[in-house]
Amino acid sequence: MKPLRVALLGCGTVGSEVVRLLREQAADLTARVGAPLELAGVAVRRPERAREHVDPGLLTTDAMSLVTRDDVDIVVEVIGGIEPARSLLLAAMKAGKSVVTANKALLAEDGETVFGAAREYGADLYYEAAVAGAIPLLRPLRESLVGDHVKRVIGIVNGTTNYILDQMDTFGASFTDALEEAQSLGYAEADPTADVEGFDAAAKAAILAQLAFHTPVSAADVHREGITEVTAADVAGAKAMNSVVKLLAICERVPDPDGSNGGRGVSVRVYPAMIPRSHPLASVREAYNAVFVEAQSAGSLMFYGAGAGGAPTASAVLGDLVAVARNRVGGTRGPVEVTYAELPVLPMGETVTRYYVQLDVADRSGVLAQVAELFARHDVSIQAVRQEGYGNDAKLVVVTHRAPDAALAATVEGLQRMDIVREVASVMRVEADEAP
Amino acid sequence: MKPLRVALLGCGTVGSEVVRLLREQAADLTARVGAPLELAGVAVRRPERAREHVDPGLLTTDAMSLVTRDDVDIVVEVIGGIEPARSLLLAAMKAGKSVVTANKALLAEDGETVFGAAREYGADLYYEAAVAGAIPLLRPLRESLVGDHVKRVIGIVNGTTNYILDQMDTFGASFTDALEEAQSLGYAEADPTADVEGFDAAAKAAILAQLAFHTPVSAADVHREGITEVTAADVAGAKAMNSVVKLLAICERVPDPDGSNGGRGVSVRVYPAMIPRSHPLASVREAYNAVFVEAQSAGSLMFYGAGAGGAPTASAVLGDLVAVARNRVGGTRGPVEVTYAELPVLPMGETVTRYYVQLDVADRSGVLAQVAELFARHDVSIQAVRQEGYGNDAKLVVVTHRAPDAALAATVEGLQRMDIVREVASVMRVEADEAP
């Protein structure tokens, strides 16, 4: 059977791992694809650097020529970033190549252009590794749930922040100390901004939302809060409620009150929140990721695995590579992103959620009544109140029922202005804590 | 585009749900497949019974004619059982039809014949719903991990037993009381044998093992223990160790000491065991299922979802139906089970595991020394011992390190014969509790 020729763009951590797997599993892969996979060329910035196991004759700096060469069937892009990756992917698809990418930044920022090109050119575009590393997630969402209707997706999609929060939960560490620990072990980068400020999670949320709801969502649409403001007190407060703080990417349909088909829109947001320890997402430790899906027919599903790292990501890339290769051997292509409805992404203020609020209050009679009255004035219903301490150490913990975020935020602002409230010590959203 | 014609075998809980979804999601499905899906006929035993939403003209008792009809493209089998399902599936594949089945009993008992026929006739055979209901599990295992090497699969694959054990854990109930509760709520059948004796889980273990290790495994090869002997004391003992009792289906490669490629064989077994509460599998509650996969490149993955019930299973069947339909539109087929190596299924005695043992002992000096000496005589290393109580209430809890099951079992027999041991109150295996 005629070999399928693969052009690899990028040969860093993930790229070199892909090369290694292609070589070591060649016999396996040939049996599974129905044809051998051959490396046609590897585009890099520094061809003079030797790459283990790569024939130097395959290295090139001219990526654009490589992706449009006649003898190339499949292009694997593991460079990252917006350009030149976008231009190369568009050129590859226009030239009839199948494309595998791990580029979450590009798909989150400009998914419309890239997915649009795939539709226009009838190209196979696979991107499992762009969202959650090695967890087979996108293919199940695209294929297995194909007869289903996804209502909500909640994900832990950033290993760095999950590792830090797990450390804070396990050892009572401060954010700063946990971050240092993470950096020393290689779980966080020297400049950890993209992870701890939630940019990485927001990009993945945008891709997940596009996939789940078949509507355009870009990273800019996603309400984003990172974990830099999470305190040891927040984490302890969660523990006291048998909950745990996680950085969550939440994508959900917002139904129309009149029950119309598309719904009012979608809500897509990233922020740290408390979830019950009994929830499957709570068992996601260290740098693992997981995505919890609620679908109409399938019910609740969760996919859990290693989010990042050379080996898991390369494993996801290889899975996609085999899928597109098999499609080419069979003369078919994978599922096409069909956009059904233009659903608006609703502003955070309208998103319905719940708050946990911890207040240091003056220990005077009538404090609880005043606080409760403030919540009532903003039409926020209180689910639970716990009052602890006496005298100078009086502490009030309030957990609300569901309410629009704007009302909850306004209530917190009101609390901050009250005389009897010395300090709003902790504010955190509460998610995934509903009676089934 | 010419419609694809679907023959449905069986119209019970799952079958009628499939019919409903085909009807309600027709427009969606057409867009995703690239052609409309049409019901060509529905084979049932009692055609005089009216089926909601099914044109009575489609009903037939002659299933064999239906599956071999020229105008039929795809056969969906949701009858269950060995015959006539096997003969019908073989005839369908021989006649060039694509096949979707939910029949775990058949695939577990005679997977070799059915998979062999799919290879021989070049037929597309999909069976997601045969293992874990709506959890997209088999397709990821077959496709996404295609460039990978699976080392171990641990699953909670039976909702009935998980519900019962969850009740025992949450409420301290006895097995009998928890079973009654499950039956009254519809989580267990009037005759619960297939579930509580582990037959269902063993069948699924066989299918998972075949898929993970590409070697024939039948349900008869699987070492099987159900949950009927699990006591409230076992569950309490697990709790005291911050663990929980789960009925686990475990499939793992057993490496060859000399490191040869295929390994010495595979171990496939089903039994109740203790796992740490921090393990992702421990968060699987009620009737949910989950399968935890350890692969060489991808690391640890877990798939979680609803194991059974009309709607989740129908959702899995529909996902497979769309996949085979799309293959037919594109002129291709899905991954073929390639058997690489005939790996023997090792006997349980050789399987390496760990034991938790709780003994009621006479409170005399020297008891611990005698007990420890017995373990040593069988070459079983002790990881932890806890001694509680005085006088008549002395209790010894021993947790071993890993050892061959035969040695562990022999040690327990030895304990039962010792004078100083009044009773071996609890014996349970300990799994998934290793330092990473």
Inform me whether the pLDDT recorded for B6 exceeds 50. yes
Specify the pLDDT at position A436: 37
List CB contacts (< 8 A) between B138 and chain A.
none
Shortest Cα distance, chain B CAs vs residue A278, angstroms: 6
Report chain B residues whose CB lies below 8 A from the CB of A314: 297
A97 to chain B, minimum CA–CA distance in Å? Answer: 17
**CB of A110 within 8 A of CB of A116?**
no
pLDDT at A262 (0 to 100): 64
Whether A276 has its CB under 8 Å from any CB of chain B: the answer is no
Residue A345 backbone dihedrals phi, psi, to 5 degrees: -90, 115
Residue whose tokens read 């273990």: B205
Closest C-alpha among A140, A123, A116, A147 to residue B30 = A147
DSSP state of A2: P
In chain B, the percentage of residues whose pLDDT exceeds 70 is 94
Instruction: pLDDT band for B144, please (50, 70, 90 cuts).
Output: low
* Interchain CB distance below 8 Å, A312 and B297: yes
**Any idea which residue has 């594109």 for tokens?**
B330
Q: How confident is the model at residue B436 (pLDDT cuts 50, 70, 90)?
A: very low
- pTM, two decimal places: 0.84
A330 vs B contacts (CB less than 8 Å): 327, 330-333
Residue B300 CA to its chain's centroid (Å): 18
To the query of whether residue A395 is one of the catalytic residues in this protein, the response is no
Exposure b/e, B21-38, CB count within 10 A at least 16 = b = bbeebeebbbbbbbbbbe
> Could you please report the per-residue DSSP string of A268-319?
EEEEEEEEETTSGGGG--TTEEEEEEEETTTEEEEEEEE--SHHHHHHHHHH
Q: Which chain A residues are within 8 Å of B329, Cβ to Cβ?
A: 332
- Decide if A311 touches B, using CB distance below 8 A: yes
CATH of domain B138-306: 3.30.360.10
Domain at A348-430, CATH class: alpha beta
Annotated catalytic residue, options A2, A97, A204, A239: A204
Interchain contact, B330 vs A329, CB within 8 Å: no
Using a CB–CB cutoff of 8 Å, tell me whether A89 touches chain B. Answer: no
User: Which of A242, A315, A322 should be substituted to probe chain B, the one whose Cβ sees the most B Cβ atoms within 10 Å?
Assistant: A315
Three-class DSSP category at B399? strand
- Are A8 and A15 in contact, with CB atoms under 8 Å apart? yes
Domain locations along chain A: 4-133+311-330, 138-306, 348-430
Quick check: B146 contacting A, CB < 8 Å? yes
Enter the DSSP assignment of A35.
Answer: S
Superfamily of domain A4-133+311-330: NAD(P)-binding Rossmann-like Domain (3.40.50.720)
The residue count for chain A = 436
- Say how far apart CA B355 and CA B380 lie, in whole Å: 10
Task: Name the 3-class secondary structure at A399.
Answer: strand
* Predicted pLDDT of residue B340: 53
| Burial bucket for residue B429 (CB in 10 Å: 0-12, 13-18, 19+) | buried
Structure confidence at residue B335 (pLDDT)? 65
DSSP state of A393: G
Of the candidates A311, A394, A215, A263, the one whose C-alpha atom is nearest the C-alpha of residue A21 is: A311
Q: Which amino acid is present at B97? A: K
pLDDT of residue B339: 54
Question: Residue ranges of A for the binding site for NADPH?
Answer: 104
Q: Report the chain A residue with the minimal C-alpha distance to residue B18.
A: A147
Q: At B264, is the pLDDT very low, low, confident or very high (cuts 50, 70, 90)? A: confident
Asked casually if ipTM beats, i.e. exceeds, 0.90, the reply is no
A282 to chain B nearest CA, in Å? 8
**Residue spans of chain A under pLDDT 50:** 436
Q: Which amino acid is at B397?
A: V
Q: How many CB pairs below 8 A link A and B?
A: 194
